[in-house]
Amino acid sequence: MEVGGLEWLLVPMQQLVAWGAAGGMVFGGVVPYIPQYRDIRRTQNAEGFSTYVCLVLLVANILRILFWFGRRFESPLLWQSIIMIITMLLMLKLCTEVRVSNELNIKRRSFAAADSKDEEIKAPPKRSYLDFDLNYFWHWSKFTDYVQCVLTFTCVTGYITYLWLDSSLFVETLGFLAVFTEAMLGVPQLYRNYQNRSTEGMSVKMVLMWTSGDTFKTVYFILNQAPFQFSICGLLQVFVDIAILLQVYSYSSYPQKLVSHTAHPASTKAL
């Protein structure tokens, strides 16, 4: 009777734990970006955050969703990709609005202080998704341009996946590209910090959450004998996270002289 009572208690407990784990898997990847989003809204400055992080995650999660059609993995991972895509679009929308607003403010201040040197006071020209200029790729002036780019990439890769869905080699390659692209997540932020010689404007909480999440994920891959590429890409993510944390320590202990962004409006294109 006692054993039956324990089973009656353990079954719902196990179900709750399973639901909790699934919920953590779906929404856990979004949590690191909450403090960064709040910091950008509060300071109205997005220069410390590289929007290439959004590009990497959008590509990785779109490829992962397409991989699902070739090999059906757990549904929480599928929902995680969908939620992450929505989150990255929200981050892009905020960063674009803040950057364009700052460019307008710079133009107004310059106009008030200028004489007849109109060439020096002009704000950077608006860039569009249809410019086809690689120098300004992902530096566009409107959020709709980013949406068009994401939709175009999704349609093209989706069509290619549809044509090659019966090829196991293609499906496995698609899955590897999704994992490897996600492993490159921290590289844009690492390079952005190196360019600025500073981590100002970047949320350290976000990077700490990256590190803890990637470490947990990598240990999980190793203990569960996941495919070799999963473990390698997980370790690569952890190393990049640690490198960014070392930048935080280095640039705070030995601050570098920064170039004034207000003096060079065009520098905001680095976003």
pLDDT at residue number 34: 87
Weakest mean pLDDT among 41-50, 135-144, 245-254, 255-264: 255-264
Report the number of distinct structural domains present in the chain.
1
Residue 130 lies in a domain: no
Residue 121 lies in a domain: no
pLDDT at residue number 105: 65
Task: Please state the pTM of the whole predicted model.
Answer: 0.71
pLDDT surpassing 50 at residue 133: yes
200: confidence class by pLDDT, cuts 50, 70, 90? confident
**Closest Cα partner for 88 from 146, 135, 22?**
146
CA dist., res. 220 & res. 112, Å (int) = 58
Burial of 18 (0-12, 13-18, 19+ CB in 10 A): exposed
Arithmetic mean of pLDDT, 99-111: 62
CA dist., res. 190 & res. 217, Å (int) = 21
pLDDT surpassing 70 at residue 262: no
CA dist., res. 20 & res. 57, Å (int) = 24
Residue 53 CB partners (closer than 8 Å, separation 6+): 185, 186, 188, 189
Weakest mean pLDDT among 64-68, 168-172, 223-227: 223-227
Domain that holds residue 26: 17-105+140-253
Please write the tens of the pLDDT for every residue from 68-94: 898 887 777 788 889 999 999 999 999
Residue 259 lies in a domain: no
- Would you list the DSSP string of 182-246? HHTTTHHHHHHHHHHTS-TTS-HHHHHHHHHHHHHHHHHHHHTT--HHHHHHHHHHHHHHHHHHH
pLDDT surpassing 80 at residue 126: no
**For the chain, what's the residue count?**
271
Residue 240 lies in a domain: yes
Residue 243 lies in a domain: yes
49: confidence class by pLDDT, cuts 50, 70, 90? confident
pLDDT at residue number 263: 37
Residue 132 lies in a domain: no
Which contiguous run of DSSP H or E holds residue 18?
Answer: helix 2-27
pLDDT surpassing 50 at residue 103: yes
> Between 52 and 72, where is the model more confident?
52
- Mutual orientation of helices 187-196 and 52-70 as an angle, nearest 10°? 170
Residue 144 lies in a domain: yes
Residue 7 lies in a domain: no
pLDDT at residue number 65: 92
For residue 83 the two structure tokens come to: 């939620």
> Between 258 and 182, where is the model more confident?
182
**How far is the CA of 15 from the CAs of 6, 12, 173, in angstroms?**
14, 5, 34
What is the SS3 assignment for 51-87?
CHHHHHHHHHHHHHHHHHHHCCCCHHHHHHHHHHHHH
